Structure 1
Amino acid sequence: MSEILKNYVGGEWIAGRGDGTPLRDPVTGEELARVSSEGLDLDKAFDFARTKGGTALRDRTYAERAALLGDVAKALQAKRDDYYAISIANSGTTKADSGMDIEGAIFTLSYYAKLGASLGDAKVLLDGDVTSLSKDGSFRAQHILTPTRGLALFINAFNFPAWGLWEKAAPALLSGVPVIIKPATATAWLTQRMVADVIAAGVLPEGALSVVCGSAAGLLDRVQAFDVVSFTGSADTAAKLRAHPAFVSRAARLNIEADSLNSALLGLDASPGSGAFDGFISEVAREMTIKSGQKCTAIRRAFVPAAHFDAAAEALRAKLAKITVGNPRNETVRMGSLVSRDQHTSVKAGIDALRRETELLFDGSATPLVDADPEVSACVAPHLLGLRDGEASAVHDVEVFGPVATLIAYRDEAHAIDLARRGGGSLVASVFSDDEGQLAHFAVALADTHGRVHAVSPAVAKTQTGHGNVMPQSLHGGPGRAGGGEELGGLRALNFYHRRAAIQAPSGALDLLPKAAAK
């Protein structure tokens, strides 16, 4: 039996009891490690984080906490090679795909370190302008934001074990809120290792960062009114979380990022051979295959004018035919595996469900896997499906979390917008057009049902950041089935970890608020 990875709680490294749950290489099936949270003293762990970690963080200014983030980023940079090796082994991703997770994590930390430094020596944030409450202006109101006196519990998904931790932890720690991270079991090794390296570097105060590997049982039972919880995962699990007494009775804050049937839309003006058409094709193919389609922002539905359906199908087939699938250790492989055989089964079932309503435009499984046994590995080749009228229901309801997308024809602008909205709320939609007026029109029309609209013209073909790339400067989240949550977005991310209060006082007292908060 392989080693059981230890949990870090209450300022100690503790191995859970029992045999634990194995973590495997999704290409070879080899057991890599085990995790267990059985027997942990969760009451002690939560209390230690709130009191020891929270107090130490709140005693620092925003600029001082920003410096801590910079030190965390440096500690992680020194161990990059180790993280790539773990990612390739435990997630089955190519080096390039692993980089999206690892480098994205370090970039986000560095961004918030720089952003936090601009907040200076304050310990609270002023929110908006002073408002007069009296005719003579002597009695006024000022809203302020103070760090919540609780902890942040993160329950994360398997697809981004590095970035998924630090994109949440960076604004939490900058806000002065300690973090307990519960990574998805299947890929917990990378998260646990990063936490271990940061703890070993001694760059954070005791209790500021904890990790629980294994079962999440009992975690929500310890969540109190001033704690906050951020969840990334399925809509079914999110629904169960919402019903927990921590949120129903104790009114703790809950942020959710769930399922998302993201779209890419080709404008009516973008005919085959145009810059917008070529950009659309490249982006759809890229989003289908990067991280084997295991991204919450990946393109699942690609809308094209009906007149260009066959041309788009042929162009995508040509792109996808060049994708080699298999063992990411082989340098010829462009796309690695899914994260586990369970996901392999789920994706295959999802493809079958979509095929009942669609035609199969491209089936990459006709090409043999590279250095991978199809009976053992979790590799699934790209599948492109087609729908010529857009009126089927499954493509707007079933998210297949793998290298799968459906090309869908639309009649006119109103039809395209209606089809995109049928996703029920999504993280992101992309629009490709040569006409910037059309880009603006689609962007506004889609904004109410999407957390982000990514509009691309040929003028920004080389500078646009990518449909699926989540940048810390912009909002990450979406309404409806996407969870209704918000993350990142620059300083907006700090709102989740702060409490807003209105201070009603004489003008002189309001002027002294920053000084009072510094004590």
Structure 2
Amino acid sequence: MTDLLPNHLGGRWQAGTGAGSVLRDPVTGEALVRVDAEGLDLAAGFAHAREVGGAALRALTYAERAALLGRVAECLQAHRADYEAIATANSGTVRSDSAIDIDGGIYTLGQYARLGAGLGERRWLPDGEPARLAKALFESQHVQVPVRGLALCINAFNFPSWGLWEKAAPALLSGVPVVVKPASATAWLTQRMVRDVVDAGLLPEGALSVVCGRPEGLLDALQPLDLLSFTGSADTAAQLRAHRAVARDSVRVNIEADSVNAAWLLPGAAGDDAVLDLLVREVVREMTVKSGQKCTAIRRIFVPAEAYDRVAGAIAARLAKTTVGNPRHPDVRMGALVSRAQWQAVQDGLARLRSEAGLLHDGAGHALVDADPAVACCVGPTLLGLRDADAGRLVHDTEVFGPVATLLPFRDTAHALDQIRRGQGSLVVSVYGADPSEVAAAALALADTHGRVHAVTPDVATLHTGHGNVMPQSLHGGPGRAGGGEELGGLRALNFYHRRSALQASRAVLDALAPR
């Protein structure tokens, strides 16, 4: 019998009362651990987080809470080797992919520790300047104060470390307790990180809780002043939005959902070898890092019609060199999908896309290294192509969450913009060109339908942070089908965890609040 990972709720570690779900190594199929949340008293646990954890956090200043985040980052760094071993076993990722998740989470904590230190010894934030309401000195000052509830963070399977800390860091800095519900398939790493932080006594009791498995009535335990932050599928997001807590009690919700992200080689760069190579390298990286299991990965590639064959050949040649298989093998550069269920979902999605697009590079031709194809959840990178972009429907609507992308030609700038926007809102689009004016114009033209526009020119060839790499200093989220939410973006992330209120009073009263 595999070990059962305990949940941390109500200020104590407690096991579920059911059989639970078994987490498996996606390469070998070996049973690793079990998760279970059956029988947990969620209402009592959430009340403890609000009343005990919330009160303790709000009693601290921003600078004091920032110092806590710094100590959490140090604690995680001390256990990093353990996290890497868990990621290899439970997520099937090669070391570089594990580092993106683990180090990304630690880096995000460090960034918010530094940002919070700059907020100083205050417990609320001014929002704009005072506005005079009458001829006398009667004014309105908007303020932001920490939410008097908890933040329930429901995370996806692909980033069990970063997904935890990119939500928890700004929440804790804001003074809001966090209950994290990781995706079951990869919950081990999230649970272990929470365990290390809780056992080290770094945060006030009730400030950080973790619930693993499939708890019944998770959203039923939410109250009107709570927050819900979700990363996952658009179908699940729709169900969350329809729940009583959101629809009737107005629980504030932030959604990050499906996204058919794009890369665009501008018309003026069709004959520029340097720019074309930047596009090719980034596409291959985005298709293969974490086996394409990133919400920000490139799914559609738009190139001038005259460059279609050249780009197709260059991407296919690089993909052919990608070794796929057991992440423990030194020659493997791309590991596995997280589960057999995810492997099947990718197969189904790929079959759907192939009903209208052709094969430019067949991932099925990759022999697996040190892995049994009948057991391992490995998929070779697959490049599809559709010469008539206007005829495409599924390629603009289907996100295959794996190492799959589709190449599409365009006639001119207007045609390219029209095709990219058929994604109906995405997390990120990357633009490749050499002319700064052309790149700037393209970036602004796409800003209304993308949470982030990543512009790559030759002068930043070795400096840019990557199409799919979410930096805490920049916004993460997107309009439309991407969920309509916003995360990170530096101190902007704190807005979700604060309530804005207008204080109307004399200038003397407003001056007495705190030094401005």
Aligned residue identity for 2:152: L
Residue of structure 2 in register with 1:477 after alignment: 477
CA drift of 1:41 comes to 1.0
CA drift of 1:512 comes to 1.1
Structure 2 residue 169 is the aligned partner of structure 1 residue 154: no
Aligned residue identity for 2:383: L
Q: TM-score, normalised by structure 1?
A: 0.98
Asked whether the equivalents of residues 324 and 335 of structure 1 are also in contact (C-alpha less than 8 Å), the reply is yes
Structure 2 residue 297 is the aligned partner of structure 1 residue 298: yes
Distance 1:223 1:394 in 2: 37
Structure 2 residue 49 is the aligned partner of structure 1 residue 49: yes
Asked whether the equivalents of residues 62 and 123 of structure 1 are also in contact (C-alpha less than 8 Å), the reply is yes
Asked whether the equivalents of residues 112 and 169 of structure 2 are also in contact (C-alpha less than 8 Å), the reply is yes
CA drift of 1:273 comes to 5.1
Aligned residue identity for 1:221: D
Partner SS, residue 299 of structure 1:
coil
Residue of structure 2 in register with 1:339 after alignment: 338
Aligned residue identity for 1:292: S
Residue of structure 2 in register with 1:121 after alignment: 121
Distance 2:365 2:456 in 1: 33
Partner SS, residue 398 of structure 1:
coil
Residue of structure 2 in register with 1:513 after alignment: 513
CA drift of 1:135 comes to 2.0
Asked whether the equivalents of residues 171 and 494 of structure 1 are also in contact (C-alpha less than 8 Å), the reply is yes
Distance 1:238 1:514 in 2: 40
Aligned residue identity for 1:367: H
Residue of structure 2 in register with 1:60 after alignment: 60
Asked whether the equivalents of residues 56 and 205 of structure 1 are also in contact (C-alpha less than 8 Å), the reply is yes
Structure 2 residue 9 is the aligned partner of structure 1 residue 9: yes
Asked whether the equivalents of residues 40 and 215 of structure 2 are also in contact (C-alpha less than 8 Å), the reply is no
Asked whether the equivalents of residues 66 and 113 of structure 2 are also in contact (C-alpha less than 8 Å), the reply is yes
Distance 1:145 1:3 in 2: 44
Asked whether the equivalents of residues 272 and 311 of structure 1 are also in contact (C-alpha less than 8 Å), the reply is no
Aligned residue identity for 1:451: G
1:78-136 deviation digits (Å, cap 9, x = unpaired):
00000000000000000000000000000000000000000000000000011111124
Residue of structure 1 in register with 2:311 after alignment: 312
Residue of structure 2 in register with 1:183 after alignment: 182
CA drift of 1:460 comes to 0.6
Residue of structure 2 in register with 1:356 after alignment: 355
Distance 2:218 2:495 in 1: 23
CA drift of 1:272 comes to 4.6
Residue of structure 2 in register with 1:221 after alignment: 220
Structure 2 residue 267 is the aligned partner of structure 1 residue 268: yes
Residue of structure 1 in register with 2:376 after alignment: 377
Distance 2:12 2:122 in 1: 31
Distance 1:213 1:340 in 2: 17
Residue of structure 2 in register with 1:414 after alignment: 414
Give the paired residue count.
515
Distance 1:216 1:453 in 2: 37
Distance 2:511 2:416 in 1: 53
Aligned residue identity for 2:72: V
Partner SS, residue 63 of structure 2:
helix
CA drift of 1:364 comes to 2.5
Aligned residue identity for 1:143: H
Distance 1:512 1:116 in 2: 23
Aligned residue identity for 1:5: L
Residue of structure 1 in register with 2:130 after alignment: 130
Partner SS, residue 76 of structure 2:
helix
CA drift of 1:355 comes to 0.6
Residue of structure 1 in register with 2:455 after alignment: 455
Residue of structure 1 in register with 2:144 after alignment: 145
Asked whether the equivalents of residues 7 and 213 of structure 1 are also in contact (C-alpha less than 8 Å), the reply is yes
Q: TM-score, normalised by structure 2?
A: 0.99
Asked whether the equivalents of residues 228 and 254 of structure 2 are also in contact (C-alpha less than 8 Å), the reply is yes
Structure 2 residue 462 is the aligned partner of structure 1 residue 486: no
Extract structure 1 runs of 4+ deviating beyond 3 A. Answer: none
Partner SS, residue 333 of structure 1:
coil
Partner SS, residue 295 of structure 2:
coil
1:213-238 deviation digits (Å, cap 9, x = unpaired):
00042110011111000000000000
Asked whether the equivalents of residues 104 and 162 of structure 2 are also in contact (C-alpha less than 8 Å), the reply is yes
Aligned residue identity for 1:46: F
Distance 1:304 1:253 in 2: 40
Residue of structure 1 in register with 2:468 after alignment: 468
Distance 1:126 1:275 in 2: 47
Asked whether the equivalents of residues 38 and 215 of structure 2 are also in contact (C-alpha less than 8 Å), the reply is no
Distance 2:21 2:219 in 1: 21
Asked whether the equivalents of residues 280 and 432 of structure 1 are also in contact (C-alpha less than 8 Å), the reply is yes
Partner SS, residue 165 of structure 1:
helix
Distance 1:175 1:229 in 2: 15
Distance 1:70 1:334 in 2: 33
1:186-231 deviation digits (Å, cap 9, x = unpaired):
0000000000000111110000000000004211001111100000
Residue of structure 2 in register with 1:208 after alignment: 207
Partner SS, residue 254 of structure 1:
strand
Distance 2:384 2:215 in 1: 37
Aligned residue identity for 2:292: G
Partner SS, residue 368 of structure 2:
coil
CA drift of 1:271 comes to 2.8
Residue of structure 1 in register with 2:386 after alignment: 387
Asked whether the equivalents of residues 91 and 338 of structure 1 are also in contact (C-alpha less than 8 Å), the reply is yes
1:380-438 deviation digits (Å, cap 9, x = unpaired):
00000001121210000010000000000011001111111000110000000011111
Distance 1:484 1:189 in 2: 29
1:269-295 deviation digits (Å, cap 9, x = unpaired):
113552211100000000000000000
Distance 1:11 1:57 in 2: 14
Residue of structure 1 in register with 2:40 after alignment: 40
Aligned residue identity for 2:17: R
Asked whether the equivalents of residues 272 and 278 of structure 1 are also in contact (C-alpha less than 8 Å), the reply is no
CA drift of 1:153 comes to 0.2
Asked whether the equivalents of residues 293 and 337 of structure 2 are also in contact (C-alpha less than 8 Å), the reply is yes
Distance 1:284 1:217 in 2: 40
CA RMSD of aligned residues (A): 0.9
Structure 2 residue 72 is the aligned partner of structure 1 residue 72: yes
1:43-91 deviation digits (Å, cap 9, x = unpaired):
1100100000000000000000000000100010000000000000000
Asked whether the equivalents of residues 313 and 407 of structure 1 are also in contact (C-alpha less than 8 Å), the reply is yes
Distance 2:140 2:433 in 1: 47
Aligned residue identity for 2:101: D
Residue of structure 1 in register with 2:249 after alignment: 250
Asked whether the equivalents of residues 157 and 183 of structure 1 are also in contact (C-alpha less than 8 Å), the reply is yes
Q: Specify whether residues 3 and 127 from structure 1 end up closer, same or farther in structure 2 by C-alpha distance, changes over 3 A only.
A: same
Aligned residue identity for 1:289: T
Distance 2:470 2:222 in 1: 28
Structure 2 residue 96 is the aligned partner of structure 1 residue 96: yes
1:453-475 deviation digits (Å, cap 9, x = unpaired):
00110001111010000000000
Distance 2:177 2:18 in 1: 28
Distance 1:318 1:367 in 2: 13
Aligned residue identity for 1:127: D
Aligned residue identity for 2:42: L
Asked whether the equivalents of residues 300 and 405 of structure 1 are also in contact (C-alpha less than 8 Å), the reply is yes
Distance 1:476 1:64 in 2: 26
